[in-house]
Amino acid sequence: MDAESIVGDFRRYFSHTMARDDASQAAYYVYTSLALSLRDRLVERWKMTQAAYEEQDCKRTYYLSLEFLMGRALGNAMLNLEVESSTADALGKLGLLLEEIAEQEHDAGLGNGGLGRLAACFLDSCATLQLPVMGYGLRYEYGMFRQKIENGYQLEEPDHWLRDGNSWEIERPELSVRIKFGGQTEHHLGPDGDRRVYWKYTQDVMAVPYDVPVPGYRNGTVNTLRLWKSAATEEFDLGEFNAGSYTESVAAKNDAEHITMVLYPNDASENGKELRLRQQYFLASASLQDVLRTWELKHGNDFSTFVDKNCFQLNDTHPTCAVPELMRLLMDEHGLDWDEAWRITRRCFAYTNHTLLPEALERWSVGMFGRLLPRLLEIIYEINARFIMVVEQRWPGDMERLRRMSIIEEGHDAKIRMAYLAVVASFSVNGVAALHSRLLQQYLLHDFYELWPHKFNNKTNGVTPRRWLAASNPALSDLLTRTVGDGWLSDLGKLRALAAHADNAKFRSEWCVVKQKQKLRLAELVQRNCGIKFDTSALFDIQVKRIHEYKRQLLNVLHVIHLYDRIKRGDTADWTPRCVLIGGKAAPGYAMAKHIVKLVGVVGECINKDPDCAGLLQLVFFPNYCVSAMEVICAGADLSEQISTAGKEASGTGNMKFMMNGALTIGTLDGANIEIREEVGSENFFLFGLSAEEVEASRGHYDPAAIIAQDEDLRRVMLLLGNGHFNRFEVGIFDPIIAAIYSPHDPWLTAADFRSYVDAQREVADAYRDVERWTRMSILNTAASGKFSSDRTILEYNSDIWHLPQLAAKSVKHE
């Protein structure tokens, strides 16, 4: 673990394994050599950790997720191994800058946004808390697309993140498993009268695992993320070979290898594509077969203690094929009867819901499902038939309720409601923030809540303070440690002690120095990526997240246009200069989101080149927002925009990263914002907008035209938008946006919240000009962020759902 030995290994990897000799010419090889040197140091701990789990024969949880948005691994490994500063020094002596080396690593962008990043934060916390939790996911060849902006419009470029290899993964071909698709089922009566089902004439695909180490924070624990890659089987299409079509049959291998080719880039709408269903089943089947193979080695076909040792956490409904797949494996492969198999299944699954948006709720066409997974469809029908009997018993004769609750949505194209399947089969159902969990119980899953109230619980999200504070903000991290000790890294509640320093002038000035330093770093990033030089004395006002109407980037732009209008009118007394940054990816098929990206671009262009705005206002669209960008952005933010229509953002997690780093929030009463405000106090949070109840109550009598007519500021903003002020040469491109704002059916109520948003922004501006007050509020935000560590979240998952032991990794002493 000493720097000399790390650098020694690094040199050997560079000159021998990579066979390079001029470091300055080969930045990527420098990075790879360092990554391999660190991986070696994780491997020993990794083996010890797995051996300890094995030896203790402890219960384990498997986190099943189609997405793991891991970002970069190098900095994280160094932080967790506690070798960062010594290695940086030693590399410095070779003329190498650690920061520059780390920049070489491609982000592992195997997720869309919040849901995928949450999975990554959870793995970090599980390893840090020494919980035997393993992640199962897919090794997409192409992760989240790279976003380019051309003429203000989003273009998607493929993200071939594996092109230069991936130093962190270890292929385990010996653990490959076979996955079946298509074919048909045959039901036979066995000699002793029992029913046997065979799934035959299938087209098979191999699943090959790649393991990625997940180190805990300075504790010797290294957990595993196992990612599956699809590959053709050996005997692939022998028929074709025999017929002499050698090349055609080799080409047909493609179909198999395509399954894990690309991540679907939708974060809030299901798309019903067959390939997506293939991905979901592929993950579910491979992961379960992996777990059952290990089980069988030790217990044979005795599953009597299986539920005491295994739990599967479903990250949304995406891996829910695991429910019928576990039934199938237990019955068809291991000979259990229905009742035994169901008793096990319903006690091993736990389901997390991440959204209430109807367009994101997965419903698979029964026809397609049956063609691709005929045996699973039979099982789902039987689960449903038995479930319907339970409903009938509880509510005899309530046919309307039966129809509502059925896992199968009847109609000319019948659908499988995956969320209902997940609820029926799980012993735990949770939302991701208090409001969200309450709304799940009151609306989306109300019938199920009445039937099984005990299944329902809340687990407010969190984020890992190692990546989102320690690694992303070393300057603040130092100040925190000097002030309250270093306990906060593994117990973020310790930051509460900061509050006592909020009135200390010297501490406040140190706080400002740190923030200023991080703003400079962010300004450099903006300059590099957008070509605009931010004024670092201005308020850094930031909204980064997927582009979606419910997140209301549009409301943000309307406010910026209003500020621009004020400047042009000369209404600039007591002005607070602002730099507004908006970033995020639009789903490629989401036209309205793409219009919004373009709007940010043109409004920004108009403002940034207007001399009247100089020193007062800037607006920039940040391209290709991703994990590594957020590490710089969250540290440099003053103001965090969390402005979704109340009731629509399940939790939000960016809000937590900003808060930890001392940004203040302007936000609605939505998702975890509510809990953030509770923790920090209403006086340190800028609240605006309708509540979720008011949003619902407004349906049917929302009149945006009247609101606009009565609000002079909004009227002027709509005039500027409508008369083409920002799009002189591209007439009409924003008509859909204008129409959406004027529509009485606008689900996002943009006009309704404009006035209170602008008023809250006024308060923000006033507060920012009072440096002492702002700094105090900033400190109090960081001080109150303890609840939003994913360590807290995971401890709650463990005590309420998983019940795993915390196992100290033995033997590998941490030096």
Query: Is 118 or 127 the residue whose CB approaches ligand N85 more closely?
Result: 118
Site string for ligand N85, 687-726 (x = CB under 6 A): ----------------------------------------
- Cα gap 129→805, rounded to integer Å: 10
Among 33, 87, 653, 793, binds ligand N85 (CB under 6 A): 653
Placement of tokens 């006592």 in the chain? 500
- Cα gap 43→38, rounded to integer Å: 9
Indicate whether 580 belongs to the interface with ligand N85 (CB under 6 A). no
The piece of 92-100, 108-116, 196-204, 325-333 that touches ligand N85 (CB under 6 A) is 108-116
Placement of tokens 């029992």 in the chain? 194
Size of the site for ligand N85 (CB under 6 A): 21
Residue 398, strand partner residues: none
Indicate whether 630 belongs to the interface with ligand N85 (CB under 6 A). no
Site string for ligand N85, 388-427 (x = CB under 6 A): ----------------------------------------
Query: Is 154 or 266 the residue whose CB approaches ligand N85 more closely?
Result: 266
Among 84, 171, 240, 270, binds ligand N85 (CB under 6 A): 270
61 is catalytic: no
Among 71, 75, 109, 113, binds ligand N85 (CB under 6 A): 113
CB of 169 to ligand N85, least distance (A): 23
Query: Is 647 or 704 the residue whose CB approaches ligand N85 more closely?
Result: 647
CB of 656 to ligand N85, least distance (A): 9
- Cα gap 796→788, rounded to integer Å: 12
Terminal Cα distance for the chain, rounded: 7
Contact positions with ligand N85 (CB under 6 A) in 327-346: none
Q: In the chain, what are the helix, strand and coil shares in percent, each to the nearest 5? A: 55, 15, 30
Q: What is the distance, to the nearest Å, from the Cα of residue 519 to the centroid of all Cα atoms in its chain?
A: 25
Indicate whether 651 belongs to the interface with ligand N85 (CB under 6 A). yes
Among 465, 584, 667, 671, binds ligand N85 (CB under 6 A): 671
CB of 249 to ligand N85, least distance (A): 33
701 is catalytic: no
Give yes or no for a contact between 652 and 673, defined as CB atoms under 8 angstroms apart.
yes
Query: Is 237 or 670 the residue whose CB approaches ligand N85 more closely?
Result: 670
- Cα gap 588→586, rounded to integer Å: 6
- Cα gap 618→581, rounded to integer Å: 8
Placement of tokens 């194209």 in the chain? 413
Catalytic residue among 467, 551, 562, 792: 551
352 is catalytic: no
Indicate whether 321 belongs to the interface with ligand N85 (CB under 6 A). no
Among 141, 237, 267, 549, binds ligand N85 (CB under 6 A): 267
The piece of 112-120, 147-155, 396-404, 417-425 that touches ligand N85 (CB under 6 A) is 112-120
- Strand 108-110, strand 146-150: pairing: unpaired
Indicate whether 586 belongs to the interface with ligand N85 (CB under 6 A). no
CB of 673 to ligand N85, least distance (A): 10
Contact positions with ligand N85 (CB under 6 A) in 4-23: none
Tell which phi-psi region holds residue 805, choosing left (phi > 0), alpha (psi between -120 and 50) or beta: beta
**3-class DSSP assignment, residue 321:** coil
Indicate whether 114 belongs to the interface with ligand N85 (CB under 6 A). yes
Catalytic residue among 546, 559, 585, 677: 546
Catalytic residue among 355, 460, 653, 750: 653
Indicate whether 432 belongs to the interface with ligand N85 (CB under 6 A). yes
- Can you say whether the dihedral through the CA atoms of 16, 17, 20, 22 is positive or negative? negative
Indicate whether 649 belongs to the interface with ligand N85 (CB under 6 A). yes
Neighbours of 359 (CB within 10 A): 10
Contacts of 156 (CB under 8 A, 6+ apart): 145, 146, 147, 148, 265, 588
528 is catalytic: no
Indicate whether 585 belongs to the interface with ligand N85 (CB under 6 A). no
The piece of 388-396, 534-542, 646-654, 768-776 that touches ligand N85 (CB under 6 A) is 646-654
Placement of tokens 């030693």 in the chain? 90
CB of 430 to ligand N85, least distance (A): 10
Among 3, 18, 360, 475, binds ligand N85 (CB under 6 A): 360
- Cα gap 267→776, rounded to integer Å: 36
CB of 548 to ligand N85, least distance (A): 8
- Per DSSP, the residues of 474-512 read HHHHHHHHHHH-GGGGT-GGGGGGGGGGTT-HHHHHHHH
**3-class DSSP assignment, residue 63:** strand
- Cα gap 588→102, rounded to integer Å: 30
Indicate whether 587 belongs to the interface with ligand N85 (CB under 6 A). no
Indicate whether 279 belongs to the interface with ligand N85 (CB under 6 A). no
Which alpha helices (H) appear in 57-97, and where do they start and end?
A: 74-81, 84-93
- Cα gap 507→782, rounded to integer Å: 14
Indicate whether 266 belongs to the interface with ligand N85 (CB under 6 A). yes
Give yes or no for a contact between 107 and 120, defined as CB atoms under 8 angstroms apart.
no
The piece of 40-48, 107-115, 165-173, 483-491 that touches ligand N85 (CB under 6 A) is 107-115
CA trace torsion 178, 123, 67, 254 (10° rounding): -30
Closest by Cα among 108, 291, 127 to 223: 127
The piece of 125-133, 389-397, 594-602, 648-656 that touches ligand N85 (CB under 6 A) is 648-656
Output DSSP code: residue 789.
B
Site string for ligand N85, 448-487 (x = CB under 6 A): -------------x--------------------------
Angle between helices 771-783 and 750-769 (to 10 degrees): 110
Which alpha helices (H) appear in 182-264, and where do they start and end?
A: 238-242, 246-258
- Cα gap 489→466, rounded to integer Å: 6
- Cα gap 603→543, rounded to integer Å: 16
328 is catalytic: no
Indicate whether 128 belongs to the interface with ligand N85 (CB under 6 A). no
Residue 431, strand partner residues: 458
The piece of 385-393, 412-420, 612-620, 650-658 that touches ligand N85 (CB under 6 A) is 650-658
Indicate whether 115 belongs to the interface with ligand N85 (CB under 6 A). yes
Closest by Cα among 39, 47, 10, 37 to 26: 10
Indicate whether 125 belongs to the interface with ligand N85 (CB under 6 A). no
Indicate whether 112 belongs to the interface with ligand N85 (CB under 6 A). yes
Indicate whether 670 belongs to the interface with ligand N85 (CB under 6 A). no
Query: Is 112 or 750 the residue whose CB approaches ligand N85 more closely?
Result: 112
Residue 789, strand partner residues: 463
CB of 264 to ligand N85, least distance (A): 6
Give yes or no for a contact between 112 and 265, defined as CB atoms under 8 angstroms apart.
yes
Instruction: Tell me how many helices (H) and strands (E) the chain has.
Output: 33, 25
Among 104, 230, 289, 355, binds ligand N85 (CB under 6 A): 355
Indicate whether 268 belongs to the interface with ligand N85 (CB under 6 A). yes
415 is catalytic: no
Contact positions with ligand N85 (CB under 6 A) in 23-82: none
Q: Which residues are known to be catalytic?
A: 354, 545-546, 551, 653, 657
Q: Which residues bind to ligand N85, rule: CB under 6 A?
A: 112-115, 118, 264, 266-268, 270, 354-355, 360, 432, 461, 649-653, 671
